[in-house]
A and B are shown apart, each in its own frame.
Chain A
Amino acid sequence: MVDEEERLLQIANVGRIMKQILPARAKVSKEAKQTMQECATEFISFVTGEASDKCRKENRKTVNGDDICWALGALGFDDYADAIVRYLHKYRELERDKATLNKASCSRTSRDKDEEEEHSSEEKSDHQPHQQTQAPTPSART
């Protein structure tokens, strides 16, 4: 199954999320999913634009999670902003724990360490290229 265009979020994923909130007997037309695909994609662009404006004004190059939270609030998505702040906090805590564990594993054999770091960096997110993202040390960024 190929996506319409790579500019949109995948329809299968969008459909899955829709199903989660709908009653079991509900049906969704394909066109409705497509519309939702476009709306969700536009949502990302819209919020990113606002977040990136803020970064530009503050002479920062990297859009981070806090900027997105701020943008959500600025654009009226207050409920999302609250939920995301908590989510981000939890994510950063877990990343810190992971970094601590990785550090501890350095004292083990180097082979074990290489495998684990490779594994954990893959598992951190589904496809996360490391080209432009910074090293996972959240404490260093702020």
Chain B
Amino acid sequence: MRQAGTYSGILSGGISGKTGPHLLPLARIKKIMKKSGEDVKMISGESPIVFSKACELFIKELTQRSWMVTMQGKRRTLNKEDVASAVMATDLFDFLVNLVSESGEATTPLEMDTSNYS
């Protein structure tokens, strides 16, 4: 049985007391890390926690930039093309260029569909 006290807010849920709860499940982060390469063998306990924060920052930045594109188009729904545009416009997100051009193609959707029927 936990004892309530000075530290209970800080200790429960990791560092939720001061820095906010983790927004991303740590087990999944760890899985993704392990899959990233053959070399990744052991991961310290703090690594998924660090990534939880880093991903939060990343998602927020990309979302903000995408939203700016949405607003430029005078729309209120952020769509995947807005995300693709934000990626293209940001050098830092160069590593995502292939990813968004695969999924966020602006060309004829029909081309994509026919490949499924071949």
Contact = CB atoms under 8 A, between A and B. Distances in A.
Nearest to A25: B76
Contact of B31 (A6, A14, A29): A6
A139 to B, nearest CB: 13
A101 interface: yes
A103 interface: no
A48 B22 CA distance: 19
A27 B2 contact: no
A62 B36 contact: no
Contact of B43 (A79, A84, A133): A133
Contact of B59 (A18, A126, A127, A133): A18
Interface string A1-36: 000001111100110111011100111110110111
A45 B104 CA distance: 20
B73 interface: no
Given A13-B24, A80-B54, A62 B42 contact: yes
A7 to B, nearest CB: 7
Contact of A14 (B2, B18, B59): B59
Interface string A56-72: 10000111110111001
A59 B51 CA distance: 22
A90 B100 contact: no
Contact of A126 (B22, B67, B76): B22
Interface of B: 1-3, 7, 10-15, 18-19, 22-33, 35-37, 39-51, 53-60, 62-64, 66-67, 70, 76-80, 82-84, 87, 91-93, 95-96, 99-100, 103-104
Interface of A: 6-10, 13-14, 16-18, 20-22, 25-29, 31-32, 34-36, 38-49, 52-53, 55-56, 61-65, 67-69, 72, 75-77, 79-80, 83-84, 87-88, 90-92, 94-95, 97-98, 101, 112, 115-116, 119-120, 123-129, 132-134, 136, 138, 141
22 contacts: A9-B29, A10-B28, A17-B63, A18-B78, A29-B80, A32-B80, A35-B84, A35-B100, A48-B36, A49-B37, A65-B47, A67-B47, A68-B47, A83-B57, A87-B19, A88-B50, A94-B18, A98-B11, A116-B2, A124-B14, A125-B14, A138-B46
